[in-house]
Amino acid sequence: MAGRGGAFALVALCMLELALLHGAGAGAGERLVPAMFVFGDSTVDVGNNNLLPVCKPECRANYPQYGVDHPSHAPTGRFSNGYNLADQIAKLLGFNESPPAFLSLQAEGIIPRMNDGINFASGGSGLQNQTGEHCGGVYSMADQLEEFTLVVKMMGNSSYDLISRSLFFISVGSNDLFEYAHAKNPPPNRNDTAFLKCLVDSYKTYLQELHALGARKFSIVSPSLVGCCPSQRAAALQHHNDFDELHCFRPANNLSKQLYALLASKLQELGGDLDGMHYSICDSAGMAEMVFTPGGAKDPTVVDTACCAGPGPFGVGLCNTSATLCPNRTNFVFWDSFHPTEYASGLAASALFIDNGKFVRPINVGQLAAL
């Protein structure tokens, strides 16, 4: 399956050049928003799971190979070889990297850190409370919101101005889809639409809660084509070769595609209802479809196999000390069985920041920050 990333990389690289030409992204020493608050799953976790004592090892990113390209060259709890999507967006906004993991802050440090932002994301978690239970204990979106609410209440009225001008960056939903697609003993007449509507209703509740606390600028990353990650391509082999036209696990991709449409229309509705709400939604499923469609090979050229490769097909397995590392990380879309490389998430971040309606709607994150 080599050779499928070309179109995406070309477009994204052109965007990156455009971004530089037109001065998109923060200038030196400048911040486009006062603070950034991050919620979601392993796509944006920067160390919360590592600090959750009940979280099982397979739901933590602290195997030695993680962070190999991070400035510390050590595992930091990011599910990546280096920076993740939250870091890359933070950099474009003028920060050095993502705000710190909530659980890394001492109690007395939490309120002062609000001025730059905090990251509440927890790998394995989802929109539904029970998602991630197999991890032994992660912070669901409801838990993340609960912690944020406590901090805002502690700050009192002084939080309002800060929160209304800050960026709320949310990347969640993939784990709900994975668990649904792989449910043991699903009932015979399971209704996918009802399930997806339920996810979108939960999303709506979280956004309403954040809005009630003063949040106004939301950047929402819809789940990517979850059936295309190496673990799901390997799953297709186990399910009578149920591959779709992208050579990905068909039922999982089907859910991702439907979810984007439902989420986009829910956001449009909320944008009309909630006073002062502004949002940017990224159609990650659409973007991924471009990445995984054959044609115009450039880079990253390896789109189906994990760079940190375990013993299974498509390099599936734990990215532990027995795993082998690909020599060139900019040549791979996937770092491990589930997560993109730093390079791939950097391309996605630049698209989020400057895309004009192809995948990022109705405005991009650069425009959202500037409001």
- Pairwise CA distance, residues 227 & 120, whole Å: 26
**Minimum distance from CB of 192 to ligand NAG (Å)?**
7
**369 contact partners, CB below 8 Å, separation of at least 6:** 32, 33, 93, 167, 217
- Pairwise CA distance, residues 131 & 152, whole Å: 26
Q: Give the DSSP H/E element, type plus range, for residue 221.
A: strand 217-221
**Minimum distance from CB of 174 to ligand NAG (Å)?**
16
342-354 vs 284-292: helix axis angle to the nearest 10? 130
| Closest residue to ligand NAG in the complex (CB) | 317
Give 21 or 194: the residue with its C-beta nearer to ligand NAG. Answer: 194
**Minimum distance from CB of 147 to ligand NAG (Å)?**
10
Determine whether 336 is an active site residue: yes
Positions that interact with ligand NAG (CB under 6 A):
129, 142-143, 146, 156-157, 191, 193-194, 197, 254, 257-258, 299, 301, 310-311, 317-318, 320-322, 328, 330-331
Q: How far is CA 191 from CA 185, 255, 289, 316, in A?
A: 14, 11, 25, 30
* Cβ atoms of 228 and 314 closer than 8 Å: no
- The C-alpha angle with vertex 234 and arms to 247 and 197, in degrees rounded to 5, equals 75
Q: Which of 87, 244, 299, 336 does the annotation list as catalytic?
A: 336
Determine whether 339 is an active site residue: yes
Q: Taking Cα atoms as reference points, which of 62, 203, 183 lies closest to residue 126? A: 203
Give 49 or 98: the residue with its C-beta nearer to ligand NAG. Answer: 49
Q: Which of 87, 159, 299, 339 does the annotation list as catalytic?
A: 339
Q: How far is CA 290 from CA 12, 295, 356, in A?
A: 11, 9, 16
Give 146 or 273: the residue with its C-beta nearer to ligand NAG. Answer: 146
**Minimum distance from CB of 251 to ligand NAG (Å)?**
8
**Minimum distance from CB of 337 to ligand NAG (Å)?**
9
Give 58 or 273: the residue with its C-beta nearer to ligand NAG. Answer: 58
Determine whether 42 is an active site residue: yes
Give 111 or 318: the residue with its C-beta nearer to ligand NAG. Answer: 318
User: Which residues form the catalytic set?
Assistant: 42, 336, 339
